[in-house]
Amino acid sequence: ETPADPPGFQHPPERIDQAPRPVIGRIQGAALGGGAGPIAVCDIAVCSAEATIGCPEVRLGLVPGVISPYVVRKIGESHARQLFLTGERINADEAFRLGLVHRVVGGDEAALDAAVQECVDQLMNVSPEGAERAKALVHNLSGKSGETARRAARKAIADARASDDGREGTAAFLEKRKP
């Protein structure tokens, strides 16, 4: 919240980041400034080979304040420094190399749509509860290491095993059938 924000206001990247269900980003064209933030919080980001991404705020004497925590978390401090300080635009292949996007798709819009649909189809084959728990686990482990991370992971698997979906999934696996 900033002084100009109403109480309880969440910036769009935060809302996407905190969404319990998986979020797939479809990136096409230019995603500059605030447009880079949503990419950094998508669980799966599929990008057109022609897309460009950047944080040009510094060219205007500004900083990418709202999106910076998400971009830094996604690509690391070193890469964020370069992008934030230079204001440069990067192409889709560089965004992939940095870990900002997960997949780069060449071709037309139909090819991009097909790649996004593949991701949707993959997610349709997982337990919704399991996906929510997995996403929460990643958030919970972020910034943790050692015994703290191991404890959090053990608790997550114990809670998942005790859930209805976890019990059904385990039974189905042992019985060699689909849950």
Calculate mean pLDDT across residues 76-100. 97
Give me the percent of the chain exceeding a pLDDT of 90: 85
9 pLDDT above the threshold of 60: no
Query: What DSSP string describes 150-163?
Result: HHHHHHHHHHHHHS
pLDDT at res. 143: 87
pLDDT of residue 153: 95
User: What percent of the chain has a predicted confidence (pLDDT) above 70?
Assistant: 94
Among 1, 14, 57, 88, the active-site one is: 57
Sheet holding 30-32, edge to edge: 30-32, 52-54, 89-91
Q: What pLDDT band is residue 11 in, cutting at 50, 70 and 90?
A: confident
Q: Give the per-residue pLDDT at 7.
A: 63
pTM across the whole model:
0.86
Active site residue 57: yes
What sections of the chain are H helices per DSSP? 12-18, 36-41, 68-75, 77-86, 92-98, 109-124, 128-141, 146-162, 164-174
Mean pLDDT of the chain: 93
Overall average pLDDT of the 31-58 stretch: 95
Q: Is the pLDDT of residue 3 over 80?
A: no
